[in-house]
Structure 1
Amino acid sequence: MSRARSGAVPPTLVVTNDFPPRPGGIQAFVHGLVTRMPPGSVVVYAPRWPGCEAFDRRQPFPVVRHPGRLMLPLPRVARRAAELLRRHGCTTVVFGAAAPLGLLAPRLREAGAERIVMLTHGHEAAWAGVPITRPVLARIGAYADVVTYLGSYTRDRLAAVVDEAKLVRLTPGVDVEAFQPGAGGVEVRKSLGLGDRPVVVCVSRLVRRKGQDVLVRAWPKVLREVPDAVLLLVGGGPIRRRLARAARPLGDAVRITGPVPWSALPSYYDAGDVFAMPCRTRLGGIDVEGLGIVYLEASATGLPVVAGSSGGAPDAVLPGETGLVVDGTSPDDVAEALITLLTRPARAREMGVQGRAWVTERWAWPAVADRFAALLSSRP
């Protein structure tokens, strides 16, 4: 007997390029949403990634992997998605990122999809501002019943090409039980030999937009005021070697850990006294920060944050209350903000306390999961 005939709610098909074990903020966002859906209510279609077999066995829902590391809106991907939709009796489809896979929506409508929800992030906001991609995003938005946005910046950009009646805010959630003060930072400090030195930590993929290179350029000025400070860069990415070369003259004042397991991330945040990611907009607005879940995770861990002013990043900070917003292109601005927080530890701790309270009240996962469930079932 089919789910529809038995009275059960049909499962939702999630089609996404962004899914663990591939690391990243969008991946964590999408995974956080689906893991909070009721058992038997979701099927995920995502690309392969190293370690996905073991990861998928631990999930309480089926994950079907595309053979390669990237899915494009091509006929074979459309056929596979339509086949999964029919096989599992799905009537709702969620695209983990609207662009570009949202172009598959008409094919899935033909296969029986009754409701289509598209999540957007920073890159869709960028598409909205580029002449060559703007009409593509408009077409994607026309296929959707709901298009989500992260904050005021992304909404303003999307509203230029997507029917405003379809736009609904849906932000990532934060696991405030995992990300909290005392999450294991003492052990990380011991393992790295940091002792009681002041630590500025950045947890993020090592790419130019995130601003780790600006942190390294700012660090000599920080050291002139706080000589024993350490910059701890957590993550991997294409600019790791370049960062290591730039940091070499600074000796052990800069540490680059490389990638760490997801389960260990809270302990690395907790090893810091200040969190900093001075993100910046690049490539004429194409490469922009959508929100910056790392700022919220850092706040939940009780750290003051220094955020770049790129895109929607300021939406994740209460300036002067939970942290500071700086020009991410300016090493001097970044250094001044870091010096302010490192030399005023009482004020920094106060910002961390305020950040923890704000994230717990406004950004915790239960409310986000409830909002997502409502989007799947009916128009907001």
Structure 2
Amino acid sequence: MTTIYILIGTRPNFIKVTQFKKEVAKYPNLALKLIHTGQHSGAAMADVFFEQFQLQPDYFLNIAQATPIQQIAAILVELETLINTIGKPNYLMVVGDVNSTLAGTLVANKMEIPLMHLESGLRSFDNTMPEEHNRIVTDALTNCFFTTEEVANENLLAEKKLAKNLHYVGNTMIDTLVAFKQNIDASTILDDKKIIPTTYCLMTMHRPSNVDTAAGLSVIVDLIQYITSTHKVVFPIHPRTYNNLKKYNLLTLLEVIPNLLFTEPLDYFAFQKLIKHSAFVITDSGGVQEETTFNHVPCLTLRNNTERPITCTLGTNTLCNADNIKPFIKQIIEGKYKKGIVPPLWDGKATQRIVEVWSKL
């Protein structure tokens, strides 16, 4: 019997692991336990996702919300204690690039547990990003790499990883989109908010580079004012973004725009329906770049780089800045923007491929 623990901690992590228990159930030689660190917790940040996905973690660490250092330290201690209590697995798999990923990596290393990394090899080559630090450290200590795109394989090979340890499996986030398509289509968010399909821009902004300064937020305000002259803007606003708009006295400029709709943080099904039926999306999120590409929705990413380059080279995504984003918006409105294609292996079967690898360990 091969036992694998998956460590998750944030909303993007939850979305990437929804199909593992179903696939593992097909193999009598595999046992799986799901451990939630509590990095994201509470009704809106965690519980609603577990409820919608019918996904119940086997263990909760329930760390206190704190600074990144305190979070990581708490996970180190709590995860070691849990593993000492329930027993060592044959493998620990970490997901993505968040604080829980880094903490799980260090625990696996110090406890001499072979480490798997789901979504390995992605690089923004921007060392100012905390996520980039997490990705690099995690892959430096990983034994088994599961990648979403060919560029990730190239990055890992350039870092002298052995080709035999790389498994190009596709994107488990897409597995969730495929598995829950009917639930997404059944969401009533458009009717509830009186939103007409394909007449709106969906916006998400949360990265410090965009929302932590008056200059960055002024770019967002200007964009909203520009877009709302032709399209509604639907903006599920991150608490960090909202608080900083208030802090810099910019919120009042937005509150008077009739074509702008702020919403509370949304559940997965509602948010995916908004993506699917939008005219275009403006974001700084990594996951949204992938979800828009799968849905053939134009995406403009307000960042200088991306760790997911296939969304630009094959997909519907374009990296933009304050100086060049408006011409791309004009292209979209005029129907002249690129169409994009869904990348290879983004077919809803990535989890199945990973579990097949597990079954042969």
Normalised by the size of structure 1, how large is the TM-score?
0.68
Structure 1, unmatched stretches of 5+, are 1-8, 280-288
Which residue in 1 is equivalent to 2:9? 17
Q: What is the one-letter code of the residue matched to 1:100?
A: A
Question: Following the alignment from structure 2 to structure 1, what is the Cα–Cα distance between the partners of residues 243 and 49?
Answer: 29
Q: How many angstroms does 1:34 deviate by?
A: 4.8
1:166-213 deviation digits (Å, cap 9, x = unpaired) = 444453331236458x9368x5444334447831113x4633457894
Q: Is the contact made by 2:292 and 2:316 (CA closer than 8 Å) also made in structure 1?
A: no
Q: How many angstroms does 1:64 deviate by?
A: 0.3
For 1:256-267, what aligned pairs fall within 5 Å after superposition?
256-267=262-273
Q: Is the contact made by 2:305 and 2:319 (CA closer than 8 Å) also made in structure 1?
A: no
Q: What is the one-letter code of the residue matched to 2:63?
A: G
Q: What is the one-letter code of the residue matched to 1:331?
A: A
Q: What is the one-letter code of the residue matched to 1:261?
A: D
Q: Is the contact made by 2:233 and 2:260 (CA closer than 8 Å) also made in structure 1?
A: yes
Q: Is the contact made by 1:42 and 1:62 (CA closer than 8 Å) also made in structure 2?
A: no
Are 1:28 and 2:27 matched, yes or no? no
Structure 1 stretch displaced more, 192-201 or 51-60:
51-60
SS in 2 for 1:272: coil
Which residue in 2 is equivalent to 1:326? 319
Q: Is the contact made by 2:198 and 2:278 (CA closer than 8 Å) also made in structure 1?
A: no
Question: Following the alignment from structure 2 to structure 1, what is the Cα–Cα distance between the partners of residues 131 and 194?
Answer: 48
Are 1:207 and 2:207 matched, yes or no? yes
Q: How many angstroms does 1:337 deviate by?
A: 0.8
Question: Following the alignment from structure 2 to structure 1, what is the Cα–Cα distance between the partners of residues 255 and 47?
Answer: 42
Q: Which has the larger radius of gyration?
A: 1
Which residue in 2 is equivalent to 1:362? 345
Are 1:103 and 2:102 matched, yes or no? no
Which residue in 1 is equivalent to 2:143? 145
Question: Following the alignment from structure 1 to structure 2, what is the Cα–Cα distance between the partners of residues 55 and 197?
Answer: 26
Which residue in 1 is equivalent to 2:354? 372
Question: Following the alignment from structure 2 to structure 1, what is the Cα–Cα distance between the partners of residues 297 and 115?
Answer: 38
Q: How many residues align?
A: 327
Q: 1:271 to 1:75 in 2, by over 3 A?
A: closer
Structure 2, unmatched stretches of 5+, are 65-70
For 1:262-281, what aligned pairs fall within 5 Å after superposition?
262-277=268-283, 279=284
Q: 1:164 to 1:243 in 2, by over 3 A?
A: farther
Are 1:216 and 2:230 matched, yes or no? no
Which residue in 2 is equivalent to 1:343? 334
Which residue in 1 is equivalent to 2:80? 78
For 1:33-112, what aligned pairs fall within 5 Å after superposition?
33-34=20-21, 36-38=23-25, 41-48=31-38, 49-51=41-43, 59=54, 62-69=57-64, 70-72=71-73, 74-86=76-88, 90-97=89-96, 98-109=101-112
SS in 1 for 2:173: coil
Q: 1:102 to 1:199 in 2, by over 3 A?
A: same
SS in 1 for 2:206: coil
Q: How many angstroms does 1:324 deviate by?
A: 4.8
SS in 2 for 1:13: strand
Q: Is the contact made by 2:2 and 2:90 (CA closer than 8 Å) also made in structure 1?
A: yes
Q: Is the contact made by 1:45 and 1:66 (CA closer than 8 Å) also made in structure 2?
A: yes
SS in 2 for 1:74: helix
Among all aligned residue pairs of Structure 1 and Structure 2, give the percentage whose two residues are the same amino acid: 10
